[in-house]
Amino acid sequence: AIIEENAYVEWIEGSIGSKITYTYPASVLKGNNARTAQYVVSLSNGPFLKDTGAKSVHVGKNTSSKIVSKSISANGGINIYRGLVRIGKGAKNSTATVSCDSLILDEESRAYTYPHNQNDEPTANIIHEATIGKLSEDKLFYLNARGISEEEAKSLIVLGFISEILEGLPFEYVEVLKKVIELEFSEVGGVG
């Protein structure tokens, strides 16, 4: 999307289910004071590959972009985040923030992060953070000890992990996404 002066564009991308996925929503902040937020959720449950990310290119002055990526890998799934943030010379006082978090639910699964941040404007800032964490057996044991099945526990942990993105979505989307994640981790879904 090309974002004109004083405009705001929000991307929400979810990748669940397909065997191989490549998705990179992009925003070009052309006008002054243009803003964008890009939210990416990727669940690779099984021998699947999810290669996702987001791109923000800052051209106008006082522009801002936010990228939030949450990936979950289970049952041998692989998630790859490839992001691009470029702030061009002349995009004065622009700001970009990128947050890439990955959750790995077993020993066979993997997650990789390949950010590319380029700032050609001395008055602009890029903030990037990335985390990759594994699901601990202690958390599963704790939830199992309280009568929650392993499938339900994984579903709850995944929903908690992506809660930052869920908070900004319309209620109907949240309910559909919750049902899909519950199904993905149920006995009739991808894990059972």
pLDDT digits (tens, 9 = 90+) for 138-187: 888 888 999 998 888 888 888 889 988 888 788 888 888 888 888 887 75
Total residues found in the chain within this entry: 192
Q: What is the pLDDT of residues 93-104, one digit of tens each?
A: 999 999 999 999
Q: Where are the beta strands (DSSP E) in 63-168?
A: 64-74, 78-87, 95-104, 110-119, 125-134
CA atoms of 109 and 103, how far apart (whole Å): 10
Structure tokens belonging to residue 82: 């490839």
pTM of the model: 0.89
What are the φ/ψ torsions at residue 177 (nearest 5 degrees)?
-60, -40
Under a CB-based contact definition with an 8 Å cutoff, are residues 141 and 149 in contact? no
Q: Which two tokens stand for residue 60?
A: 């106008």
When computed from its CA atoms, the radius of gyration of the chain, rounded to whole angstroms, is 18
Distances (CA, A) of 98 to 6, 26, 48, 150, 186: 21, 14, 25, 32, 32
* pLDDT tens-digit readout, 44-83: 988 999 999 999 999 999 999 999 999 999 999 999 999 9
| Residue whose tokens read 């602009």 | 124
